[in-house]
Amino acid sequence: MSDVQTLMDMGFARERVEYALQVTSNKGVEPAMEWLLAHGDEEIPANWNSGESPASTENRQTSGEDAAAAAPSSSGAEPSAGSPVAKSLKCDDCGKVLKDHTEVEYHAAKTGHSNFSESTEEKKALTEEEKKAQLALIEEKLKQKRVEREEREKADALEREKNRIRSGKDMAEAKRRMEELEMKKIVEQRKREKEEEKAARDRVRAQIEADKAARKAREQKESAVSSEPTASVSSTTVTSPSAVKSPPRDYTETRIQVRLQDGSTLQETFNVKEQLSAVRLFIQVKTGIETPFSLMTTFPRKLFAEDDYEKPLEVLGLVPSAVITMTKTAA
């Protein structure tokens, strides 16, 4: 807040405030306030704002008044001794005596009163006790404004601290949820791996049982052939263990291992229907890499083209598992 606005908030008119600041060489609110209290009954020169210093303006005004007093009146008429002379202005709404039109304008703006009239009552200058009382009142207002400003600053600081704590809690909660989701995903992945291992063991046991059954059937057949010497050898049928094949399995998921450029690896399970672009998005999320890169397989060696990223993993032959290497995009 400027010095002019501060003094106006104390009840002084703008014109008197600006003049007081100029008289005191703009040294601050307190010197200007002391001048206003000490010269409350003095009139402000009409042309003080023309760029001249207050001292030269007052000297020129004084010399002009002396010359006007010394010169005879051109009209020769003198004011009648019996006619009343207006010495001030009075607010008809509250009865307050005002010194000039500047005070009238300030009083009207502050109170909303609009009825004023000339008065022969002269506005008395403030006594020392009144000046001290007004000064104490102004100091109390300044102190109150300072206290209000400090309380407002404390409230703002407290609100900022609350926002900081709330933001920290939100970040911690988001991190906790991400960790829970990641842990849940790891648990589900381990569960799937165990189920796949169990299924693989079951397949091996089934294959062993099938081999045993085939071998037993072959032995029985051979013993039957040996007991019939007239039978043609060509009519015998030998069942090979390799003839027993397990039915092909339809995979719904595939395990992809990604080798990064720094030598580290990432591993994730994807649906076989997902596109290769999902693998590239997974790498970007995990590593934070924003620069373009390409993907390739080593065995067999194949560098995926842009149209390959729109194809499902099962079409690209990346089922039930595959190793993909991350490489730089060719310029």
pLDDT at 232: 47
Q: Which of 39-48, 84-93, 160-169, 175-184 has the lowest mean pLDDT?
A: 39-48
Task: Name every residue whose Cβ is closer than 8 Å to that of residue 323 and which is 6 or more positions away in sequence.
Answer: 257, 259, 297, 298, 299
pLDDT at 162: 92
Q: Is the model more confident about 224 or about 131? A: 224
Q: How confident is the model at residue 92 (pLDDT cuts 50, 70, 90)?
A: confident
Task: Name every residue whose Cβ is closer than 8 Å to that of residue 311 and which is 6 or more positions away in sequence.
Answer: 275, 276
Q: Which of 31-35, 167-171, 240-244 has the lowest mean pLDDT?
A: 240-244
Phi (first) and psi of residue 303, to 5 degrees: -100, 115
In this structure, are strands 321-328 and 253-259 parallel, antiparallel, or unpaired?
Answer: parallel
For residues 198 and 239, what is the distance between their CA atoms, to the nearest angstrom? 29
Q: For the chain, what is the total number of helices (H) and then of strands (E)? A: 7, 8
For residues 22 and 52, what is the distance between their CA atoms, to the nearest angstrom? 10
Is the Cα torsion angle 152, 157, 162, 166 positive or negative in sign? positive
Q: Is the model more confident about 79 or about 83? A: 83
Nearest to residue 263, comparing CAs of 193, 326, 316, 181? 326
Rg over alpha carbons for the chain, rounded to the nearest Å, is 51
Cis amide leading into 320 (omega within 30): yes
The token pair at 304 is 């995926």
pLDDT at 239 over 60: no
pLDDT at 57: 47
Cis amide leading into 300 (omega within 30): yes
In this structure, are strands 253-259 and 116-119 parallel, antiparallel, or unpaired?
Answer: unpaired
Is the Cα torsion angle 280, 285, 291, 296 positive or negative in sign? negative
Q: How confident is the model at residue 32 (pLDDT cuts 50, 70, 90)?
A: confident
pTM over 0.85: no
pLDDT at 271: 93
DSSP H helical ranges for the chain: 3-9, 14-23, 29-38, 54-70, 101-111, 128-226, 276-287
Give the pLDDT confidence of 166-184 residue by residue, as tens digits.
Answer: 888 888 999 999 999 999 9
Look-up: residue for tokens 């791996």?
A: 193
Mean pLDDT rounded to a whole number for the chain: 79
Coil, strand or helix: which one is 234? helix
Q: Is the model more confident about 131 or about 79? A: 131
pLDDT at 330: 67
For residues 276 and 282, what is the distance between their CA atoms, to the nearest angstrom? 10
Long-range interactions of 185-192: CB distance < 8 A, separation 24+ = 189/269, 192/253, 192/269
Nearest to residue 188, comparing CAs of 121, 120, 269? 269
For residues 91 and 94, what is the distance between their CA atoms, to the nearest angstrom? 6
Given its phi and psi angles, is residue 11 left (phi above 0), alpha (psi -120 to 50 degrees) or beta? left
Q: Spell out the domains of the chain, with CATH numbers in brackets.
A: 3-39 (1.10.8), 88-119 (no CATH), 253-328 (3.10.20.90)
